[in-house]
Amino acid sequence: MRLKLENAGLSHIRCDSAGTLDAHEGSPPDSRMSAAGKRRGLPMTGTARGVRQTDFEEFDLILAMDRSNKEDLRRMAPSDEAFRKVRLFCEYCETHSESEAPDPYYGGSQGFELVLDLLEDGCNGILNAIQGAQP
């Protein structure tokens, strides 16, 4: 998403990634996901962190990859306004019909490829939504 924002001249828009569990806090991306992303020319950077209460204040949109995470995030939301910020990522997919992203860790290398396909599709949809909202 950051690369898409940068290429669109929208690098001032901040995006981040966090998990509902902080079990991997400080870890780099999964090596299998990194390898799949690098094959597509995607920068695979960052370290894992858990969702923070301040995320609900700092971000306009909070996306969950599946329904379980969406419900976890909504339970964490400190207000009705924050609750309404939580949506499913796949709502932004334009070409894929999946309603949630599967967990790639148990699907072999094809699982990571499918998740990357969904991420690229959804990120395109988010970018289109942002650009459509620009004056």
Q: How confident is the model at residue 90 (pLDDT cuts 50, 70, 90)?
A: very high
Q: What is the residue extent of each domain of the chain?
A: 2-133
How is domain 2-133 classified at the CATH fold level? Rossmann fold (3.40.50)
Q: Take residue 42 and report the two structure tokens written for it.
A: 């995607």
pLDDT at 135: 59
CA 69 to chain centre: 12
Measured CA angle at 40 (ends 91, 44), to 5 deg? 80
pLDDT digits (tens, 9 = 90+) for 33-89: 999 999 999 888 888 899 999 999 999 999 999 999 999 999 999 999 999 999 999
